[in-house]
Structures are given as C-alpha cells and as structure tokens.
Amino acid sequence: VSTTNKKQIDPSATTIEEETRNNQTQKDQQYQDALRDLKISWIPKLNDDQGNLYEELISEQQDLNNYIPLHIAPLQQL
C-alpha cells in the first residue's frame, strides 16, 4: 500500500468549512435576535393579544426571563 494514494486533508479547507459553519450559526443567531426584538416591539401595540404574545415569548425561550425589554414592553401600553 502506497502512502501517496491516500488523500491528504487540506487544513485550510477544514478551516474554511468551520468558518462557513460559524458564519451561518452567527447569522441564525442574529435572525433569532431580530425576530425576538420584533415580537417584543409589537407587545405594546397589541390590545387583546398582548398577554398572549408576552406569555408565548416567556415560554418559548427561558433565557428571556432576565431580558429587561421583554418585561418593559407590556408596561409601555399603560
């Protein structure tokens, strides 16, 4: 068996793939943050469904429990 027939992995190709995955992950996170902020911005504008949207956001993402803009949004309608 010759060692020249084995494929050699190009380290720069792996780095590019990892960078592409990281960029995609970062874009996904930015999208999720923008969507969260859009939903929060609509809470004060909704009359009847305000509580529903607030509860939906709280139940969807537990990390939002300490997110101040989410808790201020219902107060802005008052």
Interval 18-29: pLDDT, tens:
888 888 899 999
The pTM of this model reads: 0.67
Domain presence at residue 60: yes
The residue segments making up the domain with residue 40 are: 34-78
Number of domains observed in the structure of the chain: 1
**Cβ(71)–Cβ(43) below 8 Å:** no
**Cβ(50)–Cβ(77) below 8 Å:** yes
Q: What is the pLDDT of residue 66?
A: 86
Domain presence at residue 17: no
Domain presence at residue 57: yes
